[in-house]
Amino acid sequence: MAGFRPKSSPRLSPDAERLVADALALDASGSRMEDGYWERRLSQRLGRLLKNGSQTALDAALEHLFKHNADASDVLAEQAETLAESATVEIDGVQHDALLIAAPILAHTRYAIPSGALKPELAQTLAVHLQAHVLATQTQVALSPYLYSIDQLPRTHSDTFALTHKLASAALAGTVPKVDLRDLPETAPILADPRYLLAVVVAPHEGALFRWQEDAKEHHAERSTCLEQWRQQVQPSVAVLLPGCEFELLLPDAFFLSCRESDKSIRPLTVRAAVNYLCGTLDVPAGQLAAVVASFGEEVVEEYRVGFTMRGEKDVIYGIVWPVYGREAGEVDAEEKGNPLEQICEELRNAGVEEIFRHAALFDPEYCEDCGTPLYADRSGEIVHAELPEDAPTQQPLFH
């Protein structure tokens, strides 16, 4: 999700050119004072574009810098995310800071993971727990009355900006947020997937937003303590939201950071969910399954794809995708301890899959032209479609 990589544009617009120039200047800055100058200038340009819903220029600038200057691309992306998820709002001459936060829930099941509107009393209960166990004492909060899937989160910086300001207004007014949820896409039937609660926290300007920022001993709590209390208090409410699911609550934090962390944290669950599904569907123990792990990307490793076969057989019967992020991306040393490839193999072994074949080559990321699903490498290196045996149930879940 978060960390948008837009489609390329053949020629930059004037707005996109200015964003590129400011991002390059900020990246090349030699002092903190100069940083401040370029940050203010870049923020002013970005703020106008996001307020007007003009995502196209930002997309083009990010794409251009991604190709030509990765460091400046990161600079621009960070500034865009900051402006999209935070704001300084003035009410009756008094300034307030607002931050969009996400509370991720990592869920997996053999059935379906729900999403959708929250009952008012449940939304109120969750907001009270958020205020009591995570947020600073002098803050106000507005919780969006919806349990979001990845597909339903704001898709652009402009969308995120609009939601931040709408929830901030509700928090300051002390009213229930009115969020238009009618046009949200349906949730794909994925059996290991994050769900999100979204809220905006508002604090006095330059005041503490979270309990771990507070100085007073009676209010201060470390992140680990906040997470423990959040899990204890919210577990029963989330269990009502996610019947038939196993789940883990992550610490509520800034929107983009939380989304990235949940994207990373859900990956081991996709391995376990896939193995559990295959064992249940085919009525076989995990030891009768084998896995073929291969790296995919256009120039560097962008993701790993794991194809499952029956032990001793060639046909790929199922597959999952393990995306890589940030420093994980690129040419990964298979011998380096803790690298994504080793993590995948460890999760497979923990799930009971003992026979694991690892390809050394980098494959092009191909997809099925008919259904759009990823294709996988079999043991011989042929790129194939994953197909369950003919006598297996026809309704198949999806996995990341």
What are the pLDDT digits (tens) for 22-70? Answer: 999 999 999 999 999 999 999 999 999 999 988 999 999 999 998 999 9
pLDDT at residue 400, as a whole number: 44
151 Rama class: left (phi>0) / alpha (psi -120 to 50) / beta: alpha
pLDDT at residue 370, as a whole number: 83
Q: Provide the Cα torsion 53, 60, 86, 128; round to 10°.
A: 80
pLDDT at residue 339, as a whole number: 85
Instruction: Name the nearest CA neighbour of 79 among 31, 5, 27, 33.
Output: 27
pLDDT at residue 394, as a whole number: 53
Helix residue ranges per DSSP H, the chain: 14-28, 32-51, 55-68, 70-85, 120-133, 157-173, 223-241, 255-265, 267-282, 340-350
From residue 124, alpha-carbon distances to 175, 199, 230 in Å are 11, 12, 15
**Rg from Cα positions in the chain:** 23
Instruction: Name the nearest CA neighbour of 255 among 50, 100, 79, 77.
Output: 100
Average pLDDT score over residue span 306-330: 87
Question: Helix, strand, or coil here: 232?
Answer: helix
How many other C-beta atoms can be found within 10 angstroms of the C-beta atom of residue 146? 19
Query: What CA–CA distance (Å, rounded) separates 104 from 107?
Result: 9
Query: What CA–CA distance (Å, rounded) separates 296 from 364?
Result: 6
Find the helix packing angle between 255-265 and 70-85, rounded to 10°: 110
From residue 151, alpha-carbon distances to 205, 254, 323 in Å are 33, 19, 16
State how far Cα 322 lies from the chain centre: 13
From residue 160, alpha-carbon distances to 40, 122, 256, 325 in Å are 20, 24, 10, 21
pLDDT at residue 284, as a whole number: 94
Per-residue pLDDT tens digits for 123-152: 999 999 999 999 999 999 999 999 999 989
- Quote the pTM value: 0.85
Q: Phi and psi at residue 10, in whole multiples of 5°?
A: -65, -30
Which of 78-82, 233-237, 347-351, 385-389 is the least confident region? 385-389
